[in-house]
Amino acid sequence: MTTPSTSPTLIAPSDAARAADGRARTYEVRTFGCQMNVHDSERLSGSLESAGYVRAEVGEEADVVVINTCAVRDNAAGKLYGTLGHLKSRKDRHEGMQIAVGGCLAQMDKDAVQQKAPWVDVVFGTHNMGSLPGLLERARHNGEAELEILESLDVFPSTLPTKRDSVYSGWVSISVGCNNTCTFCIVPSLRGKEKDRRPGDILNEIRLLVEDGAMEVTLLGQNVNSYGVEFGDRRAFGKLLRAAGEIPGLERIRFTSPHPAAFTDDVIDAMAETPAVMPQLHMPLQSGSDRILKAMRRSYRSERFLGILDRVRAQMPDAAISTDIIVGFPGETDEDFEDTLRVVEQARFASAFTFQYSIREGTPAATMPDQVPKEVVQHRYERLVALQERISLEENQKQLGREVQVLVSTGEGKKDAETHRLTGRAEDNRLVHFEVPEGSGIPRPGDVVSVVVTHAAPFHLLADSVDGAPLRIRRTRSGDAWDRTQAESCGVPAPEGAAGAPRAVSLGLPTLRLGG
Binding positions for [4Fe-4S] cluster are 34, 70, 104, 178, 182, 185
H or E element, residue 507: strand 505-509
Where does 117-153 have alpha helices with state H?
A: 132-142
Give the DSSP letter of residue 184. Answer: T
Q: Could you give the CA distance from residue 36 to residue 168 in angstroms, rounded to a whole number?
A: 18
Start-to-end C-alpha separation, the chain = 37
**122-124 and 146-148 as β-strands: parallel, antiparallel, unpaired?**
parallel
Residues 170 and 46: beta-carbon distance below 8 Å: no
Provide the H-helix boundaries in 398-502: 416-419, 477-489
CA distances from 16 to 19, 48, 360, 483 (A): 7, 11, 37, 33
Contact predicate 187/222, CB 8 Å: yes
Nearest Cα residue to 168 out of 417, 444, 416, 414: 444
Strands 472-474 and 195-196: unpaired
b/e map 426-450, b = 16+ CB within 10 Å: bbbbbbbbbbbbeebeebbbbbbbe
Cα gap 461→130, rounded to integer Å: 41
Residue 130, CA distances (Å) to 15, 86, 103, 113, 508 in order:
16, 26, 12, 20, 14
Side-chain half-sphere exposure of 296, counting CA atoms within 13 A: 24
CA distance 421 to 432: 10
Query: CB 235: neighbour CB atoms within 10 A?
Result: 13
Annotated binding site: 34, 70, 104, 178, 182, 185
Q: Are 330 and 365 in contact (CB under 8 A)?
A: yes
DSSP, collapsed to helix, strand or coil, labels residue 439 as coil
